[in-house]
Amino acid sequence: MKKLKKNLGGKSSGQLLIVAALSIAVLISSTTIYVYEVSRETNSIKNNSISDFVLAVKQSTRNAMISSLVNASNGGEKTVLTDNLNSFSQALRSLYQFGTCQLNFTVLNDVGYDSGMRLSWNDSGLGISSAYADFTLKIYGVTSNTVVNYAVNVTTTLTVNGSYTIVENEEKLVNLTCKIYNEG
C-alpha cells in the first residue's frame, strides 16, 4: 500500500506543479483585467465629469452674455459684457476641482459691434440687439489637458408695425404688431 501511494505521489507531482502554475497565472490575469477595467471606468467617469463641466461653462457664458445684453439694451453701458465675463472667468478659476481652469475671451469689435455689443434701433420699426464673443477654455488636469474653443452669439430682433384709426370724438383705435425673433 505504501508503495502505491509513493508511486502516485511521484507520478503526479509534475501535474500538480502545472496545475498550481496555471492557477497562479489565471489569478494574475484576472487581477490584471480587473485593474484595467476599474481604471477604464474611472477614466470614463473623469471624462464625463470634464465634458459635463465644459457644457456647464458654455451654458454659463451664454447666460452671462444674455444678462449683459438685457442690461445694455435697457440703457446700461456696453462694457457690462466685458465686466461680466471677467467676473465669471475669475470665479471659474477658483471653482474647478480637477485642476486649473482658465477662460479667455475676446469680444467682437467689428462692423456694428462695440465691446462685443450691437444695439441698432431705428424709427422704421426695426431693432437689433446682439452680443458676440469668442472663448478659449483651458483645463489643466492631473491626467490630461483640455482646450476648447467656441463662440457665442446671442441676437434678438424686434419688428414693430403700427397704425391707428380715428373713431368717434377724436379717439384713436391703435393696432400695434410686435414680432420678436430670438436667435437663442
pLDDT (mean) for 84-110: 88
d(CA 118, CA 38): 51
Buried b / exposed e along 130-145 (16+ C-beta atoms within 10 A): bbbbebebebeeeeee
Give one word for 13, left, alpha or beta, with left for phi > 0 and alpha for psi -120 to 50: alpha
Q: Using a cut of 0.95, tell me whether the model's pTM lies above it.
A: no
CA 151, 153, 155: angle at the middle one, nearest 5? 175
User: How much of the chain is helix, strand and coil, in % rounded to 5?
Assistant: 50, 35, 15
pLDDT digits (tens, 9 = 90+) for 46-76: 556 788 888 989 999 999 998 898 888 888 8
pLDDT (mean) for 134-147: 88
Using alpha carbons, select from 108, 56, 60, 100 the residue that is nearest to residue 84: 60
Q: Is the dihedral angle over the CA atoms 53, 85, 87, 119 positive or is it negative? A: negative
d(CA 150, CA 161): 36
Q: Residue 41: its pLDDT value, please?
A: 54
CA-to-CA dists, residue 102 to 65, 85, 105, 116, 150, angstroms: 18, 12, 10, 20, 14
For residue 10, pLDDT beyond 60 = no
Q: Residue 156: its pLDDT value, please?
A: 87
d(CA 83, CA 133): 13
Max CA-CA distance within the chain?
133
pLDDT (mean) for 86-114: 87
For residue 22, pLDDT beyond 90 = no
